[in-house]
Chain A
């Protein structure tokens, strides 16, 4: 496309996107880092206080609770979403009557506003008026009733389960795309060699889906960092911050208590976590791109 590649054309084509992205994504990240070394509370000028916010952060019990909850959610969703979406994709791979309906139903929660997802599950998980405890009581297993949300321990697990419900169809669809890219003759050849279905999945499908699986893992983990509305609707981080995750705790310190500098220190720490995963992700994307070219 040499003829179209005038300098002015390139600038016109690239600049609008670049300005928007740098202006509203890249520069704000640097501003966050800047505020994180100040004591800004919204009144007066921001005073530079060095790394004090970070020192406070590493002695903040609530921060570590939020970090722990975030990790529980991240691990919980990775070990459930990854295999279950893979399994569903495998089962749906060969179309049959009704497979299309199943696929679209599994995907449906993904289109519902996250803020409403929290509300829907409130009426299932709530210890007092929720469905699960009512069923347990109804069938005489009242002793198994739990404080699924709002108690001391279970909220992050409940949040992870809700997230599984929300994104299962999305990852199933990506996995199905990956499955379709595996040539059928490999399976045929392995069958002639006497491989059974489980061996095929283990020895052919999974190794050939490696790229998809890695990218899914990274998308699931970074997606887990974005869980916000569900926690806010289910417990709002309470009672006394025991169910906060990093983003809800950051939102609370920043916008509820106006400790902007401190909130931005939490934001910066979260960003560094995500940056690590971004880099792994980008190396993957870059690699698969060069594979295609070469």
Chain B
């Protein structure tokens, strides 16, 4: 019945869509093509296909990049920041949507305070955070990166979780209370299972953010032993100075796992964003 009411010149719309998709995909494909070219080919004939397919760029990239260390460091930061951020965000969102506050304004104000965080550029707080970390004697400690990153992701988490919990009926929880369930059991046994869809979305967005974060890490991490993926990538231009082909191969090596991660979880991303919260 929808198809009857919504007619749209089909062919034209498909052509527009295909063009936009092609434009979106093209830079990835081009990067991939470039990764097989030699430096001379890149510099002298940018608009040409590689003379021959060889993997020497990749071999060089793998030799120069401390890949294992970079992935390990990033994973470590991401896991702990994720845990902290999720626990805090979940408890707060539950309190905002389910617990009774004497002052409604306080409850609402808490929500608005956190959601306002979405609009604050993290760059403003990098230097003060750096000073705080230094004065606490934590510089060079991994905790110094984990806490600020966890803090900056809470805004989106609260927005998504509160949005989900508001739309979700309270009846199951009320029944659980009658059965004598306490707050701890309530959160872990009753609520966690039902908020899985939005939890998945929050986790994915947070993991992507922790994985890709650059500006805060670039200031708080000064020890090459603690280098994350983004920090490593930011040094490509220096590290490979004129070795563009090595730089491109290294970029491909880092992008492929990201795209795989996305392919695996894209359904959750779209579902969570459509769940109702982001659209306001």
B-binding residues in A (CB < 8 A): 1-5, 9-10, 12-14, 16-18, 20-21, 23-25, 27-29, 31-32, 35, 84, 87-88, 91-94, 102-109, 111-116, 119-121, 123-124, 128-131, 133-135, 137-138, 165, 168-169, 173-174, 176-178, 180-181, 184, 187-188, 191, 197, 200, 211-212, 214-215, 218-219, 222, 225-226, 228-229, 232-233, 247, 250-251, 254-255, 260, 263-264, 267-268, 270-271, 274, 277-278, 281-282, 284-286, 288-289, 292
- B side interface size, CB within 8 A: 109
Find the B residue at minimum CB distance from A168.
Answer: B24
**In the bound complex, CA of A14 to CA of B236 (Å):** 42
Proximity string of chain B (98-134) to chain A, C-beta cutoff 8 Å, 1 when within and 0 when not:
1111000000101011111111111111111101100
Q: Which of A32, A138, A200 has the most CB of B within 10 A?
A: A32
**In the bound complex, CA of A268 to CA of B128 (Å):** 12
Is B241 located at the chain interface by the 8 A CB criterion?
no
Is B91 located at the chain interface by the 8 A CB criterion?
yes
Report A-chain residues with C-beta under 8 Å of the C-beta of B122.
Answer: 226
Q: In the assembled complex, how far is the CB of residue B24 from the closest CB belonging to chain A, in whole angstroms?
A: 5
Contact B280 A222 (CB under 8 A): no
- Given A91-B16, A181-B279, A263-B127, are A173 and B273 neighbors across the interface (CB < 8 Å)? yes
Contact A229 B131 (CB under 8 A): no
Is B80 located at the chain interface by the 8 A CB criterion?
no
- Which of B7, B119, B132 is close to A278, meaning CB atoms less than 8 Å apart? B119
**In the bound complex, CA of A134 to CA of B44 (Å):** 10
Chain B 198-221 interface residues, beta-carbon cutoff 8 Å to A:
208, 211-212, 214-215, 219
Contact A20 B127 (CB under 8 A): no
Report B-chain residues with C-beta under 8 Å of the C-beta of A274.
Answer: 119-121, 124
Is B226 located at the chain interface by the 8 A CB criterion?
no
Contact A113 B262 (CB under 8 A): no
Q: Which of A9, A13, A131, A135 has the most CB of B within 10 A?
A: A13
Contact A260 B127 (CB under 8 A): yes
Q: Which of B118, B215, B251, B280 has the most CB of A within 10 A?
A: B280
Contact A188 B234 (CB under 8 A): no
Report B-chain residues with C-beta under 8 Å of the C-beta of A29.
Answer: 120, 124-125, 128
Specify the main secondary structure of chain B where it touches its partner. helix
**In the bound complex, CA of A13 to CA of B43 (Å):** 58
Contact B17 A102 (CB under 8 A): yes
- Which of A1, A135, A228, A267 is close to B215, meaning CB atoms less than 8 Å apart? A228
- The number of residue pairs between A and B whose CB atoms lie closer than 8 Å in the complex comes to 305
Q: Apart from A17-B92, A32-B128, what are 14 other A-B pairs with CB-CB below 8 Å?
A: A2-B100, A28-B128, A28-B132, A32-B125, A88-B20, A108-B28, A115-B230, A123-B30, A168-B24, A173-B273, A197-B8, A222-B119, A232-B234, A281-B118
- Given A24-B129, A226-B123, A288-B280, are A4 and B211 neighbors across the interface (CB < 8 Å)? no
Specify the main secondary structure of chain A where it touches its partner. helix
Contact B88 A247 (CB under 8 A): no
**In the bound complex, CA of A93 to CA of B2 (Å):** 11
**In the bound complex, CA of A168 to CA of B16 (Å):** 14
Find the A residue at minimum CB distance from B157.
Answer: A17
Contact B131 A31 (CB under 8 A): yes
Find the A residue at minimum CB distance from B91.
Answer: A13
- Which of A24, A88, A251 is close to B123, meaning CB atoms less than 8 Å apart? A251
Find the A residue at minimum CB distance from B24.
Answer: A106
Q: In the assembled complex, how far is the CB of residue A147 from the closest CB belonging to chain B, in whole angstroms?
A: 15
